[in-house]
Every structure is written in C-alpha cells, then in structure tokens.
Amino acid sequence: MATYEFTVTVKTQYLPEQSAPDQGRHVFSYTIRVVNTGTAGAQLISRHWVITDANNKVEEVRGLGAVGHQPLLQPGEQFEYTSGTMLGTPEGSMHGEYFCVAEDGHQFEAPIPEFVLSVPRTLH
C-alpha cells in the first residue's frame, strides 16, 4: 500500500540590508526543503501560509506551487527553494501546508511546521 508523505524543513535568515527597523520593516528569508518521504510519486500543487507578527497580526497567503514551481517528486527526491517575507515587528512566526496530489490521484497535505522569524540580538 502506498504512503503519501512530504517532509518539510526550514532555515531562516534575517536580512538587515533590506530591513528598515525604524520604519517597521523587518525582512527575512527562509529556505524550504521538501522531501518525498512516502512511497508514491506526488506533485506539490499549492501552498497556504499563516504569517503572524509579534502583535498577533495574521496574514494568510495562498497560491499555486512554490516560487512558481509545482515539482513532481518521486520517493526520496527533494525540492529546495528560498523565499522571503516582511514583518512589521522584529519577531514573528510562519506555518502552513502544501497541498499535493500523488500520481495515483490521492490528495494529501504536507504540513509546514511552525518556525520563528527573529532579528538577531546583539549584546553590548
């Protein structure tokens, strides 16, 4: 029996050169790795993000694919991309899911675990 699973991992980075903290602009990049850890080939069709800043302002983003791609991943294959977001606060978080369709037509969701976006702190 086929299993349907994509495993998602995330790395984040603060982008000070694109940020303007005095204007409430904090820019972050995140690199996502999606690995087909199931036994069936499947395609990433669309995404849903929930982005929350430190003031609990929530923004939801939905769209086709990821950075313009809808990769078809066979078992063991991976897709990696880097994207970004801007927050009005120095901290926030993101989570969501990818909607996927296996080659046999089975539909499933691949959860994107919550990750923190945070401006690095410096000690003086």
Query: Nearest 5°: phi and psi at 105?
Result: 95, -10
The span from the CA of 1 to the CA of 102, in Å, is 13
Three-class SS state of 18 = helix
**pTM of the prediction?**
0.92
The pair of structure tokens assigned to 79 is: 């897709």
Alpha carbon distances (Å) from 77 to 3, 28, 36, 57: 15, 27, 6, 36
Give pLDDT, residue 122: 58
Helix residue spans in 6-123 (DSSP H):
none
The segments of the chain whose pLDDT lies below 50 read none
Give 36-56 pLDDT, tens digit per residue.
999 999 999 999 999 999 999
Report percent pLDDT > 70 for the chain: 98
47 burial level (CB within 10 Å; 0-12, 13-18, 19+) = buried
